[in-house]
Structure 1
Amino acid sequence: MSLTITLIGGPTALIEFDGFRLLTDPTFDHPGAYKLPHVTLEKLVGPAISAAQVGAVDAVLLSHDQHSDNLDNSGRDFLRHAPRVLTTIAGARRLGGDVKGLAPWDSTELTGKDGRSLTITATPARHGPAGIEPLSGDVIGFVLSSNAPGSRPIYITGDTVWFDGVAEVARRFPAGVVLPFAGAAQTRGPFHLTMDTNDTIETARAFPDATIVPVHTDGWAHFKQTAGDLRASFDTLGFGARLRILEPGVRTFI
C-alpha cells in the first residue's frame, strides 16, 4: 500500500493513496470569522499550503458543505476546478453542478492508469449527540478501498462523534488507517460535535490494528482539544504507538 498524507489545516488533508490524489473538506481561507445562522466560527490559522500548491486532485471528499470550518470561501472556489466532488445528497443539491451526492453505504469508483481503481464508500456520521441532526444537518464519512495488491481500506470519519454508525464501519471494513475528525468541536451547547479523546480511543479500539491519524484538531476557536491532548491520552492507555500526529504542510508517509 502506498499512502502519504499532507495536513493542510483543520479537516483539510491531501491523501495520496495507491496513485490517486484526494482532498478532504477544503479550507484555504486566511484567518477570519464566519457568521452562520446559529453561531459565529472563528478561524485562527491559515492553511499550511495553498490551493495552488495542492494542484490537481482526482476527487474532493466533502463530508458536508454547511459549516465553514469544513468548506470555506476558498474551498468553494477549489470545488469548481475539481473533476469530482463527493458529498451528502443534501449538499450536492445545494452546491449544484456535477457534485455527486452519496447516502451512507453508497459507493462510487475512480479509475486510474494500469487497471488501478479506487472504490469510495460513504459512511454514516452523526455531528453531535443523538437528536442533533435537525440542527447540524447531514454529514458523511468515507472509506477508500484500492484494488492494488496488499492494500487495506482507509477510513475518513468526517465530522462525527463515536456512535453505532462508526462501529458498523469497523464491522464492515478492516481499515488499516483511520483519520478521525477530532478536536472535540463545541459551539453553543455543553456537548461536543466531533470526536473528543474518549471517542477517538473508542474508534481506535474498534479498529484494533489500524494506524490512527487525527485531523480537525487545530486552527479554529471552537476546537476544544488538541493533537497534544490525544497524544497524552493514547500514551497513558498504551495506544501511543498507533497514533500518528501530522505536522501541517509536511508530506508524511504512513
Structure 2
Amino acid sequence: MKLELWRNATLLLQIGGKKILIDPMLGEKGSLGKFPMTDNELENPLVDLPFSEEELKDKLITIDAVAVTHLHPDHWDAKAIELLDKNIPVICPEIISEQIAQSGFKNIISIKDSIIWENISISITEGEHGTGEIGEKMGKVNGFVFKTEDKSIYIVGDSIWYDGIAAEIDRHKPQHIVVAGGAATFVVGDPIIMTSEDIIKLGEYAPNATVLVTHLEAVSHCKENREYIQKKINENGMENRCLVLQDGMEYSL
C-alpha cells in the first residue's frame, strides 16, 4: 500500500493493486478565489500542484477510481470535474451521489454503509465538520476506510476530533489514519478540522496506528502549518508514528 499527497486533501492511494484518487482539487493556484468568512484576502488554493498540467493528465490516465468524501471545492473542484473521465468509477457517500451524477459522471458507486469493490472493502465513516452553527453550515461530511486482507487505512476527511471518530477507530481498527490538520477556522466559531491538540488526542486513542496529517498550507483559513504541527508531535513523543505529509511525496505503508 502506498499513499501520495498531491495537495491539501488530494491523495493517491495504491491499495490491492488499484489506484484511487481521493478528494481531487486539481485547479491551479488561486483558481477558487477568496474563501468567505476569512480574515485575509488570499486566493485559494495557496499553492499549485507539485507537478505540471501535462504530468497531471498522465497521472489521471493511470487511476482506477476516484473517491470523494464531500463536495466542498477544496475536495472536488471544477477542474477535477473537467479533467476526470466521466466513465471512471466515482466512490462516494450516498448523500452526494446525485450531485456528482449531475456533473456528467456515469459510473457512480454510491455507499450507504460498506461495499466490496475489486476485492477492496470500502466503508463510509461519519465526521463533524466543526461545532455549533458553523458545523451546521458546513454540512454533512464523511470519510472512508479501505481494507484488503492485510492492509487498512482510515481517511477521516474534514472532521474535528470527537467521540464519533473514536467509535470509527474502535469499529475498524485501522493500521493507518489520515487526518485533516491545520485547524481551519473562520472569523466566527471554533476550528472545523483537527487542531494539533486533536491530532495528539487521536494518536493517544489509537496507539497502534500510524497517523498521517494532510490538509496543510494549501487553503487560507488554516491556522497551523507543518512546522507548528511537527513541533507539537515531537513534544508529545509521537514522531515515530505520526507523519506530517509533504506535497508530492509518496509514502509506503
Q: TM-score, with normalisation over the residues of structure 1? A: 0.86
Residue of structure 2 in register with 1:225 after alignment: 224
Q: Which runs of 5+ in 1 are unaligned?
A: 112-116
Q: Residues 213 and 82 from structure 1, CA distance in 2 versus in 1: closer, same or farther, beyond 3 angstroms?
A: farther
Q: Which runs of 5+ in 2 are unaligned?
A: none
Structure 2 SS opposite 1:43: coil
Determine the C-alpha separation between the residues in 1 that align with 2:115 and 2:205.
Answer: 25
Determine the C-alpha separation between the residues in 2 that align with 1:17 and 1:212.
Answer: 17
What letter corresponds to residue 76 of structure 2 in structure 1? Answer: L
Residue of structure 1 in register with 2:114 after alignment: 107
Spell out, residue by residue over 1:144-192, the C-alpha distance to the aligned partner (whole angstroms, 9 max, x if none).
1102xxx132000010001121011111111111110111112242411
11-20 or 72-81: bigger deviation: 72-81
72-81 or 42-51: bigger deviation: 72-81
Contact conserved, 1:27 with 1:47, CA < 8 A, in 2?
no
Q: Tell whether 2:73 aligns with 1:64.
A: no
> Counterparts in 2 of 1:24-103, with a 5 A limit?
24-32=22-30, 34=32, 39=37, 42-49=44-51, 50=53, 51-55=56-60, 56-65=62-71, 67-81=72-86, 83-96=88-101, 97-103=106-112
Contact conserved, 1:122 with 1:141, CA < 8 A, in 2?
yes
Determine the C-alpha separation between the residues in 1 that align with 2:174 and 2:97.
Answer: 27
Spell out, residue by residue over 1:51-71, the C-alpha distance to the aligned partner (whole angstroms, 9 max, x if none).
314233222121101x21111
Determine the C-alpha separation between the residues in 2 that align with 1:178 and 1:140.
Answer: 14
How many residues are aligned here?
241
Q: Tell whether 2:14 aligns with 1:5.
A: no
What letter corresponds to residue 107 of structure 1 in structure 2? Answer: S
Residue of structure 1 in register with 2:193 after alignment: 194
What letter corresponds to residue 4 of structure 2 in structure 1? Answer: T
Residue 232 of structure 1 and its aligned partner are, at CA, apart by: 0.7
Structure 1 SS opposite 2:233: helix
Determine the C-alpha separation between the residues in 2 that align with 1:37 and 1:135.
Answer: 14
What letter corresponds to residue 188 of structure 2 in structure 1? Answer: G
Contact conserved, 2:184 with 2:192, CA < 8 A, in 1?
yes
Determine the C-alpha separation between the residues in 2 that align with 1:90 and 1:200.
Answer: 27
Contact conserved, 1:162 with 1:203, CA < 8 A, in 2?
yes
